[in-house]
């Protein structure tokens, strides 16, 4: 009679659940043999399930091949959200039908498996290209545009057997390039080509941030990759920003502003522009020529936006207009603002018709926010002193709105208000003060009518 070890070795040669050889082993009543049978069948079923998952993730590639395209590249990015470091993109061309066990959205792959899957992708790929834009570019053009530049760079940097893709599968973006393409929401979880690009970009960026960790100790870059973890924020508080920090991202932006004010105030020679005064909440001259020019430019953008019927074009207008935005945003026409550049909205943002965002100070809105029609977010304030008002002096206070907030139609949010996460504002409410998380507020002035 075979030993348990010998039985396990024999079972390892069986690769199909329908193999008639199972019957011989199942006749063996030993507990060790029965356990080995269950384990082997479970492993085979796992392989079957994994193959089905990978097959499902090839559906976009198959559709492209059926249309006649022959060289299909997946493109993804890593590093849009961190406070420090570059945004990194990868463009990967896999062979037709290529399946790599365990390949998935890099966020779903255990950290311990990243290097292994990365090596398998690099070995299997027909070509790989890397693109990267550092924090300087991100601060100059915004993270959305910097990501696009990095993706175009990744295509140009393709190296391997074939370097001219005729079809692009891109994770939730479109590129201004003369190559047929398809933008896929959550593409790294739905396309193997994009998933391959995701893990290549992820490992590449993690290595870069590990190098920065050695160069700039105290921020824990090797573990947080530049994201705003507790250790990272503690490092910022203790040491201040490094040369790789993104100056337009909070809290770095405010830290640098405060630092600049403190240094120049000590020297008693700090001269702020009217725009800087405005954003800092100080009295400023609204008739300043530069501010008037910015408001005129904003009105031209408003006119173009409000007359554009194509939703996708309106979305691109907003992404190029606002300070920062998520990928999935929608603002209906008859939108009004002062500048637009001082507005920051997160993912899954929706604003219904006739929204008014007066942004002399920053308006910051988190993810999954929904605004009804005729909602007003008002940051401007005017002095009580009539002489100052007549002289054209104004000031403002920022508005901050958290994640998962629903603001009913006709509601007004006044200057200086902060709303926490998971807040509902009743229709027609006038919000004059700040509220924390998980509440429903309504009325004039708004008050808490229910806790969530």
* pLDDT over 60 (residue 21): yes
- Supply the pLDDT for residue 257: 82
Say whether both 203 and 246 belong to one domain.
Answer: no
Q: Tell me whether residue 60 is in a domain.
A: no
Question: Would you say 76 is a known binding-site residue?
Answer: yes
What is the arithmetic mean of pLDDT over 266-283? Answer: 79
Query: Could you give phi then psi for residue 399, rounded to 5 degrees?
Result: -120, 130
Return d(Cα 369, Cα 362) in angstroms, integer: 17
Say whether both 295 and 369 belong to one domain.
Answer: yes
Residue 59 and residue 194 in contact, taking contact as beta carbons nearer than 8 Å: no
Model pTM score: 0.55
Question: Would you say 421 is a known binding-site residue?
Answer: no
- Supply the pLDDT for residue 65: 97
Say whether both 125 and 224 belong to one domain.
Answer: no
Say whether both 406 and 324 belong to one domain.
Answer: yes
Q: Tell me whether residue 183 is in a domain.
A: yes
What's the structural domain count of the chain? 4
Return d(Cα 73, Cα 126) in angstroms, integer: 10
What is the arithmetic mean of pLDDT over 212-239? Answer: 95
Question: Would you say 300 is a known binding-site residue?
Answer: no
* pLDDT over 90 (residue 86): yes
Return d(Cα 405, Cα 349) in angstroms, integer: 10
Q: How confident is the model at residue 263 (pLDDT cuts 50, 70, 90)?
A: low
- Supply the pLDDT for residue 107: 86
Say whether both 197 and 285 belong to one domain.
Answer: no
Say whether both 8 and 81 belong to one domain.
Answer: no
What is the arithmetic mean of pLDDT over 435-452? Answer: 95
Strands (DSSP E) found in 150-245: 159-160, 167-171, 180-184
Q: Tell me whether residue 354 is in a domain.
A: yes
Q: Tell me whether residue 274 is in a domain.
A: no
Say whether both 208 and 222 belong to one domain.
Answer: no
On average, the pLDDT of the chain sits at: 93
Which tokens in the block code for residue 162?
A: 């074939």
Residue 94 DSSP one-character state: P
Residues of the chain with pLDDT > 70: what percent? 97
What is the arithmetic mean of pLDDT over 347-361? Answer: 97
Which tokens in the block code for residue 140?
A: 């100059």
Residue 385 DSSP one-character state: S
Q: Tell me whether residue 387 is in a domain.
A: yes
CATH code of the domain in which 188 resides: 3.30.420.10
CATH code of the domain in which 402 resides: 2.160.10.10
What is the arithmetic mean of pLDDT over 423-444? Answer: 96
Report the candidate in 50, 278, 57, 95 with the shortest Cα–Cα distance to residue 189. 57
Return d(Cα 253, Cα 344) in angstroms, integer: 13
Q: Tell me whether residue 357 is in a domain.
A: yes
Q: What is the pLDDT of residues 91-109, one digit of tens each?
A: 999 999 999 999 998 888 9
Residue 325 and residue 318 in contact, taking contact as beta carbons nearer than 8 Å: yes
* pLDDT over 70 (residue 443): yes
- Supply the pLDDT for residue 265: 60
Residue-number span of the structural domain to which 361 is assigned:
279-451
- Supply the pLDDT for residue 10: 78
Q: What is the pLDDT of residues 287-306, one digit of tens each?
A: 999 999 999 999 999 999 99
Q: How confident is the model at residue 33 (pLDDT cuts 50, 70, 90)?
A: confident
Q: Tell me whether residue 269 is in a domain.
A: no
Instruction: To the nearest 10°, report the CA torsion of 334, 338, 342, 347.
Output: -10
Say whether both 101 and 201 belong to one domain.
Answer: yes
Query: Could you give phi then psi for residue 287, rounded to 5 degrees?
Result: -90, 5
What is the arithmetic mean of pLDDT over 386-392? Answer: 91
- Supply the pLDDT for residue 368: 97
* pLDDT over 60 (residue 78): yes
* pLDDT over 60 (residue 246): yes
Q: Tell me whether residue 106 is in a domain.
A: yes
Q: How confident is the model at residue 264 (pLDDT cuts 50, 70, 90)?
A: low
Say whether both 284 and 430 belong to one domain.
Answer: yes
- Supply the pLDDT for residue 129: 98
> Helix (H, G, I), strand (E, B), or coil: what is residue 290?
helix
Say whether both 103 and 179 belong to one domain.
Answer: yes
- Supply the pLDDT for residue 20: 82
Which tokens in the block code for residue 434?
A: 């700040």
Computed on alpha carbons and rounded to an integer, the radius of gyration of the chain in Å comes to: 28
- Supply the pLDDT for residue 44: 82
Q: What is the pLDDT of residues 105-127, one digit of tens each?
A: 888 899 999 999 999 999 999 99
Say whether both 99 and 77 belong to one domain.
Answer: yes
- Supply the pLDDT for residue 37: 80
- Supply the pLDDT for residue 148: 97
Say whether both 224 and 331 belong to one domain.
Answer: no
């Amino acid at each position: 009679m075979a030993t348990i070890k010998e039985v396990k070795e024999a079972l390892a040669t069986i690769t199909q659940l329908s193999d008639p050889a199972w019957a011989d082993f199942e006749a063996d009543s030993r507990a060790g043999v029965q356990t080995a049978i269950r384990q082997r069948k479970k492993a085979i079923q796992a392989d079957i399930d994994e193959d089905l998952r990978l097959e499902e993730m090839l559906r976009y590639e198959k559709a492209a091949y059926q249309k006649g395209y022959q060289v299909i590249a997946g493109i993804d990015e890593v590093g849009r959200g961190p406070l420090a470091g570059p945004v990194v993109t990868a463009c990967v061309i896999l062979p037709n039908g290529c399946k790599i066990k365990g390949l998935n959205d890099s966020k779903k792959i255990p950290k311990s498996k990243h290097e292994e899957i990365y090596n398998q992708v690099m070995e299997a790929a027909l070509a790989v290209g890397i693109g990267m834009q550092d924090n300087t570019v991100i601060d100059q053009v915004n993270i959305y545009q910097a990501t696009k530049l990095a993706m175009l760079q990744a295509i140009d940097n393709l190296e391997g057997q074939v370097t001219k893709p005729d079809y692009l599968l891109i994770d939730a973006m479109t590129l201004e390039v003369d190559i047929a393409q398809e933008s896929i929401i959550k593409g790294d979880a739905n396309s193997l080509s994009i998933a391959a690009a995701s893990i290549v970009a992820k490992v590449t960026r993690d290595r870069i941030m590990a190098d920065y960790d050695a160069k700039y100790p105290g921020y824990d870059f090797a573990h947080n990759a530049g994201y705003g973890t507790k250790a990272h924020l503690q490092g910022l508080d203790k040491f201040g920003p490094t040369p790789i920090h993104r100056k337009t991202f909070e809290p770095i932006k405010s830290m640098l502003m405060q630092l600049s004010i403190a240094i120049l105030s000590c020297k008693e020679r700090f001269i702020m522009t009217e725009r800087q005064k405005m954003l800092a909440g100080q009295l400023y001259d609204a008739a300043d020529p530069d501010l008037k020019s910015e408001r005129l430019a904003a009105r031209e953008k408003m006119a173009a936006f409000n007359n554009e019927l194509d939703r996708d074009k309106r979305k691109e207008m907003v992404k190029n207009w606002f300070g920062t935005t998520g990928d999935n945003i929608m603002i209906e026409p008859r939108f009004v603002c002062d500048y637009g550049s001082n507005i920051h909205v997160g993912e899954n943002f929706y604003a219904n018709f006739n929204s008014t965002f007066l942004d002399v100070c920053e308006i910051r809105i988190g993810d999954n926010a929904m605004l009804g029609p005729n909602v007003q977010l008002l940051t401007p304030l005017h002095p009580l002193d009539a002489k100052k008002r007549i002289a054209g002096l104004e000031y403002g206070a920022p508005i901050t709105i958290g994640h998962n907030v629903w603001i009913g139609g006709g509601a007004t949010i006044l200057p200086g208000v902060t709303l926490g996460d998971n807040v509902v504002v009743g229709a027609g409410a006038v919000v004059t003060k700040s509220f924390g998380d998980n509440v429903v507020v309504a009325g004039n002035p708004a008050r808490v009518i229910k806790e969530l």
